[in-house]
Amino acid sequence: MEEKGKKLGLLNLIGLCVGGGIGTGIFIMMGSGIAYGGRSIVLVCSIGCVYMLLAFWNSLAFGSMFVLPGGDYAARSMVFPPLLTGVSAWFQIASAFVLAGHSLAITQFVEQLWPQVSNFQMPFSVLVLTLGFVCTIRGSRMLTLIENLITVTLLVSLGMFIVFGVPQVDAASFFSNADGGFWRDGFGGFMASLSMMSFACMGTSAMISMGGVTRNPKRTIPLASILATVVVAVVYALMGYVASGILPYEQVAGQNISVTAEAILPRGLYVFFVVGGGICAVASTMLGVMAYLRAPILRVAEDGWLPSVFTKTTKGGYPWVMYLVLYVVSLIPLVTGLDIEGVVGNTMIPTMILNIFMNLYCLRLPKLYPEQWEKRGLRFPKWVWNLCSVAGSVFGIMIIYNLFINLDFKAAALCVGEIVVMFIIPLITLKMKWVSPDVLAARKQETIERALVDTENEG
């Protein structure tokens, strides 16, 4: 069931992409990136945005050739056999874990202004999470309007950080490596910094699930993702320039950028930066994830991986039962005490496993769907398309490796356990015939046919 109301345009999606791209990671990971790469963080941030865009290449590729209201899950159901379709379905549900990480990050920023909040960290994080889900009730358009307002506040805050900070950087010595401060640990340090910043640089490509509520989605979604990536890359590079170029390395390595902000901004503007920058950045990412999850999670229920009650929607198309499930799932990390790094690892690693397979499958799309290839929104030549598909898979492997080796034992064990369980559940479901392979095959064909018809209509 499609959401009713006006469809989204290019500016709506760029706002959603930028808000989703400039989020939690840049505020809590910048210091770690500087610790490994020194002042080369400027290049790391710029390259990292393209790096992550390619790691999620399949979202751009499928979104350019098909209209898929079911988002990433619908794309995977076109490709995967029944078991992997089920694995993808349960990973999609478990991805709500990351929302807990966002609420924890907001709580940590609030603690910088009001330390007494630390005595109520868990209930305060639950309150933040609850308010985020309340924002989804009026549908995707309302969510994007809220997101765009937050994004404007965020960009003003970051613009203030950049405007105050850039003149205070010694540009003549910044790019010099005479002190060993630019290529701090050589190429190895640069690559370690790039991997560390991968989470911060993602978020501008996962828009395929918005196809059902977007005007001319085959063109609008890929274009919005690419333009938003350029905006985010420029903003991040300037932030890295300021964050690494004013205070000594020892003061900023491993710290969030509020350390630099406090040094360059008057107290009042510093408070605005923490609220308008830190808190709004995380809130925009959280709302963006909630918007992305809507369509694919509903499709998971429609395919039978959950009882039919989970497909219920309001008259306006809001899947209230499904969002209730996401809310409960996102509470789990909060009540079990998982930290932000553990939440990110347990969300990103399964996602990148699926992305690797999907990126490689994109190599076959031009041959399998020649008509849709000719009408694709991304007019890249085939050799560029293939290069992006392979590069995206390689980058996915690198991300998995670097994320996993940086997890503590508890988080790593949980990640392995999560992956095992997400294979076992659909295996049992199919074995007990709670989900019929024949029904899945029919749904797969239906997805393909609908994608082709919608593509024709958009063409």
DSSP per position, 298-354: HHHHHTTSS-GGGG---TT---HHHHHHHHHHHHHHHHHT--HHHHHHHHHHHHHHH
Confidence at 385, pLDDT banded by 50, 70, 90 = very high
Highest averaged pLDDT of the listed ranges 67-76, 169-178, 200-209: 169-178
DSSP per position, 269-299: HHHHIIIIIIIHHHHHHHHHHHHHHHHHHHH
pLDDT per position as a tens digit, 322-338: 888 888 888 888 887 77
Rounded to whole angstroms, the Cα distance separating 125 from 100 reads: 8
- What does the angle CA 266 – CA 276 – CA 224 come to, to the nearest 5 degrees? 135
Rounded to whole angstroms, the Cα distance separating 86 from 436 reads: 11
pLDDT per position as a tens digit, 82-99: 888 888 888 878 888 888
What is the mean predicted confidence (pLDDT) over 375-396? 89
Residue that wins the pLDDT comparison between 75 and 200: 75
Helices 217-245 and 140-165, interaxial angle, to 10°? 30
pLDDT per position as a tens digit, 33-57: 888 888 888 888 888 888 888 888 8
Length of the chain: 459
Residue 1 has pLDDT above 50, yes or no: no
pLDDT per position as a tens digit, 269-320: 888 888 877 787 777 778 777 777 777 777 777 777 877 777 787 777 777 8
Asked if residues 397 and 356 have their Cβ atoms less than 8 Å apart, the reply is yes
pLDDT at position 208 = 60
Residue 386 has pLDDT above 90, yes or no: yes
Tell how far CA 270 is from the center of its chain.
27
pLDDT per position as a tens digit, 149-169: 776 777 788 888 899 999 998
Residue 190 has pLDDT above 90, yes or no: no
pLDDT at position 69 = 63
List alpha helices for 95-139, DSSP H: 97-113, 121-134
Residue that wins the pLDDT comparison between 261 and 292: 261
Q: Tokens at residue 151, please?
A: 């994004």
Mean pLDDT rounded to a whole number for the chain: 80
pLDDT at position 393 = 93
The CATH number assigned to the domain with range 10-458 reads 1.20.1740.10
110-114, 283-287, 346-350, 372-376: segment of lowest average pLDDT = 283-287
Which residue has 């932030």 as its token pair?
Answer: 239
pLDDT at position 2 = 45
What is the mean predicted confidence (pLDDT) over 394-421? 84
pLDDT at position 394 = 92
Which residue has 């992550």 as its token pair?
Answer: 52
Confidence at 363, pLDDT banded by 50, 70, 90 = very high
Confidence at 254, pLDDT banded by 50, 70, 90 = confident
pLDDT at position 3 = 45
Helices 217-245 and 437-458, interaxial angle, to 10°? 90
pLDDT at position 179 = 64
pLDDT at position 248 = 87
Rounded to whole angstroms, the Cα distance separating 220 from 264 reads: 39
